[in-house]
């Protein structure tokens, strides 16, 4: 006997189709991650903000005092962290030196930084947000970007199953606990942020 196609299954299937259509459309338009960054994200060389806004660059209207990179050079590591029977795959961005006007000064080894665990959206890998996570880190934050649950294929939406948000929440909690063990992290200043 054939089971009826429940609305939840239809919604998950529709989401998969929409994600796939979006990525195919971007590919058909010749869009790459790098061209997306150049089209949407302002960089330090973009001085003519009014001209950019007039030209239709969406992020030109969202400028703040924290536009662009901060004064810290950063290190990027890819880590696999064991938590009992779970393994977290993460990118860790850490400020390592202040770069002020071309004068680079290493930060003291005892320096503690505020930290952020960043959780990405369901259909995008952590690297999709690298422009954001590196900029946040360059302003003096340790940023841990979890690289989990990024598959947008049909296996993420198994019939009769929902996306396991509880497992993802536990993943983020484990990553906070990991940051608390790092000597460069100020344990009283840890936050979780994310998208989608």
> In CATH, what is the architecture of 69-194?
3-Layer(aba) Sandwich (3.40)
Alpha-helix runs per DSSP H in 30-146 = 33-40, 49-54, 130-138
**Whether pTM exceeds 0.85:** no
pLDDT at 44: 45
pLDDT at 117: 92
Q: Which of 66, 186, 35 is nearest to 132 (CA)?
A: 66
Q: How far apart are CA 162 and CA 12, in angstroms?
A: 8
> Concatenated DSSP letters for 31-47?
--HHHHHHHHS--TT--
Instruction: Count Cβ atoms below 10 Å from residue 171 Cβ, excluding itself.
Output: 20
Q: Are 149 and 121 in contact (CB under 8 A)?
A: no
Phi/psi of residue 110, nearest 5 degrees: -90, -5
Mean pLDDT, each 10-residue run in order, the chain (196 residues):
47 52 58 51 46 49 59 88 80 88 85 91 76 89 79 56 67 89 94 84
pLDDT at 171: 81
Token couple for 101: 């006007």
pLDDT at 132: 87
pLDDT at 188: 93
Q: How far apart are CA 144 and CA 172, in angstroms?
A: 10
pLDDT at 103: 84
pLDDT at 6: 47
Query: What region does 164 belong to: left with phi over 0, alpha with psi -120 to 50, or beta?
Result: beta
């Amino acid at each position: 006997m054939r089971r009826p196609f429940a609305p939840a299954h239809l919604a998950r299937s529709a989401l998969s189709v929409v994600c796939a259509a979006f990525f195919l459309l971007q590919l058909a338009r010749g869009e790459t991650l790098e061209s997306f960054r150049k089209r949407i994200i302002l960089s330090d060389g973009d001085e003519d903000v009014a001209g950019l806004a007039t030209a239709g660059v969406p992020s030109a209207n969202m400028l703040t005092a924290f536009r662009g990179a901060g004064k810290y050079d950063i290190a990027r590591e890819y880590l696999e962290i064991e938590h009992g029977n779970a393994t977290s795959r993460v990118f860790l961005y850490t400020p390592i030196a202040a770069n002020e006007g071309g004068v680079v000064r290493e930060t003291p080894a005892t320096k503690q930084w505020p930290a952020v665990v960043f959780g990405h959206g369901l259909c995008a890998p952590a690297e999709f947000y690298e422009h954001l996570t590196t900029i946040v880190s360059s302003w003096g934050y340790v940023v841990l970007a979890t690289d989990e649950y990024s598959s947008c294929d049909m296996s993420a939406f198994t019939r009769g199953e929902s996306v396991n948000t509880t497992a993802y929440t536990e993943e983020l909690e484990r990553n906070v606990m990991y940051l608390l063990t790092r000597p460069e992290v100020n344990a009283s200043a840890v936050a979780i942020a994310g998208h989608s």
